[in-house]
Amino acid sequence: MAWRLDWSKETNILTAMLLWPVWSLILLLIPVDAADKGDDVRAGCSTAVNDLVYIVDGSWSVGFADFETAKQWLINITSQFDISSHYTQVAVIQYSDNPRLEIPLGKQQSAADLIRAIKGITYMGGNTQTGRAIRFAVDHVFSTSQRASPVKNRIAVVVTDGKSQDDIVDSSMEARAQSITVFAVGVGDEIANSELVSIANKPSTAYVLYAEDYTTIDRIRDSMEQKLCEESVCPTRIPVASRDEKGFELMVGMNIETKAKKIPGSLVSQTAFALNTSTDITEKTSEIFPEGLPPSYVFVATIRLKGIAPTLNFDLWRVLSKKKEIQAAVTLNGKDKSVTFTTTSVSKREQRIVFQGFQALYDGMWHQLKLLVRPSQVTSFLDDQQIQEVLLEPAEPIYINGKTQVAKRRGTDVTVPMEIQKLRLYCDPHQSEKETACEIFSVVKTFNL
């Protein structure tokens, strides 16, 4: 509010003097770090900004009981999102002969309200007009979003158990043309895989899911949740051989390739980079992980520790909040030859997992360190060999208004001299199986033998 004072200059000064003690008292009552807390920004799957539309088959082939199961499945996979006008807005369309808008986009502004609304949806029955339903979502649902600015993530999830009785190709193409990401979930043996592929985005391996029947649909709940999260928080792709994988190429994002000295890698065909004490690998987290970290990911580093590095305790990779609290970190402990993984926790300040059995990592040779992080556990690997699997407590979204760093002494900004060939974070946990240590000479030699 803007005020214009028409009083005399003297009156203004007198008034300010009289009010100053009041303002001083107010300022004293405000916590010292309130401004800092106001600047804290958490980001992750739950805080993703999505327009999410479920397009659910309500034809006669589904049946009353299975339709109730499908509704509960929607509730389960939506529970990971913060439902509000600021974050994820949800709409639900049920279709048979015609589409019916059950829940308008953004009408429900809390998870509790959305759950009640989904539970209240009544089964339609009828034929299967999937193409018409997709077209309806494109023309009449996504377009009703009341966001102040365009939404980056517009996602449709089509759940069907039978062959469509109309054309699905044109409507699906139109959805993708309008930057709507389409997932296709097939249930039962009546649905043709070719139809699901036509509905969904490419590649089909990432956007098509299948359940044997509605009684087993909850088995793909984790996969659906992960894929929705990947779509929300992993906008970038890593070019890997002949495929692109969602994730973060930290060698590029952290500017290691431009800041560090280029050196020969683990094989003649590989290039690596040497860090020294004057190489500062620090970037704003909001630029590296603008939407936070996914609930599951694969951290991969191909490194060589020489000189004093094998004796030090340092963070190979860490994400710090503005107050320098660790949000995520992979720490190398030269003293006891272990590796520590740190992440957030909903019940305490942080949770730290110490992995033993990494003596070889500190022998001055090239090695690949890999951590497979899932919501309830983290598994460590060295050169394709599993070392240890440990349970995790629930984590919370990370603060992204701090900084992300590489090769820093624990608790300081001092860079540890070391050599790095690869530093990646894959969003798909299945990349743990595909990301092998074939770039390590000793591993290749053993494999060939």
**pLDDT tens digits for 140-155?**
999 888 776 777 789 9
Q: 195 in a domain, yes or no?
A: yes
| CB-CB contact of 296 with 429 (8 Å) | yes
Q: 35 in a domain, yes or no?
A: no
Which of 233, 256, 278 corresponds to the end of one domain? 233
pLDDT at position 39, please?
Answer: 64
Count how many domains the chain has.
2
pLDDT at position 16, please?
Answer: 38
Whether residue 292 sits in one domain with residue 429 = yes
Whether residue 361 sits in one domain with residue 220 = no
Q: 16 in a domain, yes or no?
A: no
Whether residue 222 sits in one domain with residue 109 = yes
Q: 28 in a domain, yes or no?
A: no
Whether residue 362 sits in one domain with residue 277 = yes
Q: 333 in a domain, yes or no?
A: yes
Range of the domain at 430: 238-448
User: Half-sphere exposure (CA, 13 Å, Cβ side) for 261?
Assistant: 11
CA 2 to chain centre: 42
Band of pLDDT at residue 28, cut at 50, 70 and 90: very low
The residue that leads in pLDDT, 156 or 14, is: 156
pTM exceeds 0.75 for this model: yes
Whether residue 191 sits in one domain with residue 73 = yes
**Average pLDDT score over residue span 318-343:** 96
Q: 22 in a domain, yes or no?
A: no
Whether residue 211 sits in one domain with residue 168 = yes
Band of pLDDT at residue 173, cut at 50, 70 and 90: very high
